[in-house]
Structure 1
Amino acid sequence: MKKKWLSGCLALLLMLATFGGTGVVFAEQTETPAATADGLWTAEVEIVSPDLEHEGLPFVATVEFEEGANAFDLLLAAVGEENVQYTVHPEFGPFIEGIMGLEGTASDWWMFNVNGEASMVGAGSYLVEDGDTLQWEYFVDDSAEWEVFAFADQDKVSPWAQEATQWLGYFNIMSGKPSGDSFLFDPKGTTTRAEFTKLLVSILYEDPSGAEAAGFTDVAAGAWYADYVNKAKLENLIGGYADNTFKPSATISRQDAAVILARAFELSPSAEAPSFGDVTAAYAKDAIAAIAEAGIMEGYNGAFRPQDSITREELAVVTLRLFEVFGE
């Protein structure tokens, strides 16, 4: 499959893969060792800001804990919950906005490292092992031009989606909705099947035009999404309904998005892939397991909510993850 990665993707990947002049090696969760005789483990918590002086930093503390604690719990135990500014998203977990009064921005943020390597999972999902060194490192990016981009309603975007919406908007991967002389992102709005298809095809292919008409009775030849739908159907990324319609204006569900993404990126689940008790549609089970295992979409406290629609800001985060995982 021929994939087209927009020019901005390379810059983002270099930014994410380089820190302090050294390449980032991703830390994976390893098998948990046996507990010590007294049942308590210890881990070191470090809070550092190498590129920016800030009162109280660097901070180092040793924390005792019981098996099963996650890294976010240990951060709160080390510095006190009153010194951590965060929000909790039902799908993506805790999002750290600031530590000890140093708050992140669209271009500067807190990176979570385990034993000197960037973690593949968030602090709320990483189960700490005895002897781990957990580090929150404030990363200052002076090179990102996209940080100055903002939709007219950027202040309505959740903190955990600020970076994704600005980056995707700057490179015109996700566009806004006209409102007078400006554009609104509408972060809490839903995504239609036509919008989702256009976004995916725009990422994967240089030129969607020229594909044979898909034959859907509700996709007019001159519609703004027609070429994208035709290309997606040609590549077997999408299917229609029994009545030969595509329903372009219908909102896309989480399970249908997962199915399309799994097809597009040729993902299949391993034996260790997560499963969700609320996923009952046979056609979506493997796709949802695969897309969750790849870290592209996650669940809500053990549930996937397959019938829920994806908000535009959630889709922005998912899209940025696609670039991070498959952008090479």
Structure 2
Amino acid sequence: MIRAGEQVEARTYEVHLNGEALGAVLNDRIRTLRVETPQGGYEVATSRLSLQKLADTWQVPVKQISLNFSITSNEELAKRLDVPTGRKLLQALDITAELRSEDGWKQPLAGNGGSGSGYERYLLRVPATVDAGQLAVVKVSTNQVGQVSYQPVPFHAVSEEITVYGRSGGTYAVLDGGASGEVRSFMDISGHWAQQDITRLATRLLVTGTHSIASTASATRERDLANVHFEPEGQVRRSELAAMLVRVLGLERTDRTLKSFDDVLTESWYADSVRTAAAAGLINGYADGSFRPDTPVSREELAVIIERALRFAGNTEEHAGEVSESISVSLSDAQKISTWAAPAVKTLSGLGIMKGDEKGRFGPATSVTRAEAAAVLSRTLDKLHWD
């Protein structure tokens, strides 16, 4: 562990680990390198640094490669008035972590697009008096015309420290949904069996409400707790599930120039999410080039998609196997589960993410409700390793 700036109050903290120091860390076979400052910190598995491979690419000695980390308080963001409804911004930090060579080569430490093995771990801090159950963490980006967007990212809060699992450096902000002192929830979930899961995900900005008169996915708009309706018994469409997955995994939008699906219009609210989820291999289109955004998702389809999400976030076969083999899963309609979905159903049943009903039936062809999707995603969050 490296601590810096403990006796200094500053807006920016920078840590430079030169080639000699970095080499010593690796030679000592330290598995995790942790850098801490009063503002926050960074944690990385040393196995991911791949210095020799980078040295070969740059054609420099390994000892000339250094690790550089900087964290700066983003004071401009704190002045903005367009934070998500009902939220108070607690902290906003600009974070950079990169490897550099003495002759000017640079490579940001960032995740790779097709695997969760690339999640970075950033450490943020909040006051001990804050209710962690009311927090959301977002990555903040600004487009060419100055519009700000807030993309939810996964995190884990323990006391005053928040570990954020991000795909790359940038601006990260902590939002407090309980600052107003009001208990906010959707009007139509009071007493519902999935109320706790729905509220948890909505607080983290992972699920949104619906437009009560929307009859198709293209008519639906992004809505939060302030829009009161969630429609828990409504069927979850493929477009909606794609958007939920992108938020839960904290995925950044893919290049809009990439080819999408024939029936996904560029201006539709879900276009970016569908493109991003498909690029990550989470949800596929059909052989005819369509995505069918309005098609409901079946339970066995959901099982396959969630298993892909588990693997994307670093859950290995060993992780899943240990659990699924230790629990006896008995489903009375197992013979009705499609061959292509059976392994995923077994894994998710064993992990307790998806369950049978009171009669032990899985209902593989049954359409998933929005409440069921929220419950499954909430359970999935608790099982993700982010390795």
- TM-score with structure 1 setting the length: 0.53
The answer on 1:218 being equivalent to 2:280 is no
Look up the SS of the partner of 2:246 in the other structure.
helix
The equivalent of 1:243 in structure 2 is 288
Name the % identity: 30
Shift of 1:162: 1.7
Instruction: Return the structure number with greater relative CO, CA threshold 8 A, min gap 6.
Output: 1
Selected match of 2:304 from 233, 251, 259:
259
Q: Where do residues 296-311 of structure 1 align in structure 2 (5 Å cutoff)?
A: 296-300=353-357, 301-311=359-369
Alignment size in residue pairs:
198
Distance 1:316 1:245 in 2: 26
Native 8 Å contact 2:299 2:366 kept in 1: yes
- 1:79-119 deviations in whole A, cap 9, x for unaligned? xxxxxxxxxxxxxxxxxxxxxxxxxxxxxxxxxxxxxxxxx
Distance 2:280 2:259 in 1: 11
What CA RMSD, in Å, does the superposition of the two structures yield over aligned residues? 3.1
Shift of 1:189: 0.9
Selected match of 1:232 from 277, 295, 310:
277
Distance 1:281 1:310 in 2: 16
Distance 2:256 2:348 in 1: 27
Distance 1:245 1:148 in 2: 41
Unaligned stretches of 5+ in structure 1? 16-142
Native 8 Å contact 2:154 2:250 kept in 1: no
The answer on 1:207 being equivalent to 2:264 is no
The equivalent of 2:208 in structure 1 is 175
Change (3 A) 1:4 1:299: farther
Selected match of 1:288 from 345, 352, 355:
345
Native 8 Å contact 2:310 2:380 kept in 1: no
Distance 2:200 2:248 in 1: 14
- 1:63-90 deviations in whole A, cap 9, x for unaligned? xxxxxxxxxxxxxxxxxxxxxxxxxxxx
The equivalent of 2:164 in structure 1 is none
Shift of 1:215: 3.5
Look up the SS of the partner of 1:298 in the other structure.
coil
Native 8 Å contact 1:262 1:291 kept in 2: yes
Unaligned stretches of 5+ in structure 2? 1-115, 122-135, 138-152, 160-175, 214-225
Q: Give 1:305's aligned amino acid.
A: G
Selected match of 1:163 from 196, 219, 237:
196
Native 8 Å contact 1:189 1:311 kept in 2: yes
Distance 2:281 2:183 in 1: 38
Change (3 A) 1:312 1:306: same
Change (3 A) 1:302 1:172: same
Distance 1:279 1:219 in 2: 32
Distance 1:238 1:212 in 2: 19
Distance 2:349 2:255 in 1: 33
Look up the SS of the partner of 1:265 in the other structure.
helix
The answer on 1:197 being equivalent to 2:242 is yes
Shift of 1:223: 1.5
Native 8 Å contact 2:252 2:276 kept in 1: no
Shift of 1:237: 1.3
Q: Give 1:285's aligned amino acid.
A: A
Distance 1:262 1:248 in 2: 20
The equivalent of 1:154 in structure 2 is 189
Change (3 A) 1:212 1:305: farther
Shift of 1:275: 5.7
